[in-house]
Structure 1
């Protein structure tokens, strides 16, 4: 799949608040692809708001047609993409709801996300309702096996 091309696929599974599985292609020649939503990091499943984040992504995308713009591949072999479901920018929706953090390292390529995170934080939405929310990257570091 070429980078920066937009592909339309059916969302067939939701792993967590920033990862989904899509089925692309035509009948008889489908390909299932695991996709990481670009520029965000959702709470881990066992972390506070992890399940709510996953449920919100499912509400937005499960069994929907997603427009995917491939950007990269991550260290786990997942495709990293800008994802839109029903015309909704999934990264923006997750951040706006307080159900994902903006991945600071990639924020310069997605400048629209930072103000959404600031608004969610100011209003105490989602994970920002916690006294000291723990970023998923810090959670993974603390719970590494």
Structure 2
């Protein structure tokens, strides 16, 4: 593992993210489905799909079957139901927009998976544009899972934040440098739409409640601390840390397992604005404790660069390739802490 990746965000889970990317680098109007160019179907991402409720702890409001009439994109279709065309958006994914790299490859993969047959539609909810959001299956293939696993769509963590299966498939695609993840910093479709005046979609899903482990009183108080910075300003605490010269991941730990276990993500405030990067169970990440990090920490700034989204984070790797010192700002309990991390 390259030492410059470890302090990038001072969490080895993110260094794993970048190591996977580095490894990979080294080694319009709806159109009729029939008009799309044929392509060899990639191996289905979900050989034996789980029921909707089991796969994502969600419940379908209705289920029906019909042929795909037209495609507006790899993740947006018109599917015929009772002689009427119904607009459907794939749940949990966001595919490249027309004009972006891999947009055509993504559509061809879907067309190949369809094979001219009907699809099963498990409707979960409706988005802000009035489009049905659903899990769509072509035979035994979950189309959303197929796109994410082949690196032909982003896992939409803004609207499907609790979907562990899609997170896992996305992490594996990134670590393997598949599809669009072969690029150092692919432009997310929501950023593309924003810069081109496109419509943004959103939806809300209520997962089934699962029993939560008992939380100790002191941990509960820590969790209740606000994750926003006060407009009045707060005292900054500073610490210095040096990464060991021989720092590396423990035996048996690799990039993919770290990504799947710790689920790196962007933390948002109550208004939906990005606070910075965080991950699950930070204290269990190799070297995190040694570098002074704790569960619940949010990394908001690295060497003066505000952390706002995952695509931007990935682009930092080559930028910081030969940097030996990193000033990292962490939000802990609503207060900023600045720590300096040095590499040999």
Are residues 1:112 and 2:165 paired? yes
5+ long unaligned stretches in structure 2: 1-59, 199-344
Q: Which residue of structure 2 aligns with residue 74 of structure 1? A: 127
The residue number in structure 1 matching 2:107 is: 54
Query: Which of the pair is proportionally richer in helix?
Result: 1
Distance 2:163 2:151 in 1: 17
2:148 to 92, 95, 98: 95
User: 2-side partners of 1:109 and 1:38: how far apart?
Assistant: 12
> Deviations 1:76-112 (Å, cap 9, x if unpaired)?
3221111111111111100001001011123344320
Bigger RCO (CA 8 Å, 6+ sep): 1
* Distance across 2 between alignment mates of 1:14 and 1:66: 13
Map 1:1-145 → 2, pairs under 5 A: 4-25=61-82, 30-61=83-114, 63-144=116-197
**RMSD of aligned alpha carbons:** 1.5
User: TM-score, normalised to structure 1's length?
Assistant: 0.88
Instruction: Tell me the secondary structure at the aligned position of residue 35 of structure 1.
Output: strand
Aligned residues between the structures: 139
Higher strand share: 1
Q: Is the 8 A contact 1:20 1:36 kept in 2?
A: yes
Look up the SS of the partner of 1:43 in the other structure.
Answer: coil
Which stretch has the larger CA shift, 37-46 or 109-118? 109-118
- Give the C-alpha shift of residue 61 in structure 1: 2.3
Aligned-partner Cα distance in 2 for 1:109–1:68: 21
Give runs of ≥4 in structure 1 deviating > 4 Å. none
- TM-score, normalised via structure 2 length: 0.39
Distance 1:129 1:112 in 2: 22
Q: Following the alignment from structure 1 to structure 2, what is the Cα–Cα distance between the partners of residues 77 and 60?
A: 26
Q: What is the distance in 2 between the residues matched to 1:108 and 1:77? A: 21
Structure 1 segments unaligned to the other structure (5+ residues): none
- Between Structure 1 and Structure 2, whose CA radius of gyration is higher? 2
Residue 292 of structure 2 corresponds to none
SS at match of 1:105: coil
Q: 1:62 to 1:138 in 2, by over 3 A?
A: farther
Q: Provide the C-alpha distance between the structure 1 equivalents of 2:123 and 2:137, rounded to a whole number of angstroms.
A: 12
